[in-house]
Structure 1
């Protein structure tokens, strides 16, 4: 079984800090990134978020399906109205720990320590937008910072060792061929489904399996 998880597109910032609204979902999409012009995955590789050898991050897909297996991370670059989108690999997360299993650090302590810089970076990335849109995004950041377990989504929901993530943002995959699900839930592809795709797509997925 191959597990796929979609990441918010991050233009030229290598998932270290928010990149602004460029190439994200369009307004008629109900995705979080379409509504608020950013996604929490954009800090996935932020160096400040590595603490005691562990990288703290967020993957939207894990909120609906807690996957303990290897996950292939991908993203969708939206190229504008009436233009075909590109789906690209981001990397492979071989092993991770979901936040409900952490027993040595609390979400409150983590969020309070890292929130200030995140807010500054988000403001900078969205400064080209109208003030009210900027404020909507900051409000979401604040809501997630003050998350109550089981009610709101947190700023961070996963952690992993650097050696357990292979960053390979290069290979392009046809976004129409993997599955019909372009949302942010975990996508499951078993061997039977995989065989329906062109060999070139199978080869890419199996090479990082």
Structure 2
């Protein structure tokens, strides 16, 4: 995780927050039009889409363009990032946090292309995402979820400090129907404690 800051910026927008957000092996910054080929190659995968709620399958060039355009729009308590390998600068996935409903809880979401699974890169990206959300926005709690059949995503949430809350059902475009999920929460106070533990090592 990045260095903690107790101060919040005056503006609650991505434009007010410095980029890129750095981790050990990955960097979060804005997705760009020159990412489109990598994005389509990685996102057009049933295994990726089936674990997400709103990603279509197949995932086409127009879907990638729409994702980049949406990421450029500044909205309160929301941000969308490209996850990049620091070594190469290539896009390997997407991470975001946003209000699903106006005034509702802030949810985190993320995906990595299949060639990058199982290397701890998603955990690094989510640590950086959580740091960004809590450092630059007045957010008291983040929520995250994963399919009950996705133990890798569950581990990412738990390693990032999220605590199990309950189970629910959601609609998944990629899965083609309703799927059971586990829901997790991370409070700001818990995040601050976890960052203090990290500083004490």
TM-score (norm 1): 0.27
The structure, 1 or 2, with the larger RCO (C-alpha pairs under 8 Å, 6+ apart) is: 1
Pair member with larger Rg: 1
Specify which structure has the higher proportion of strand: 2
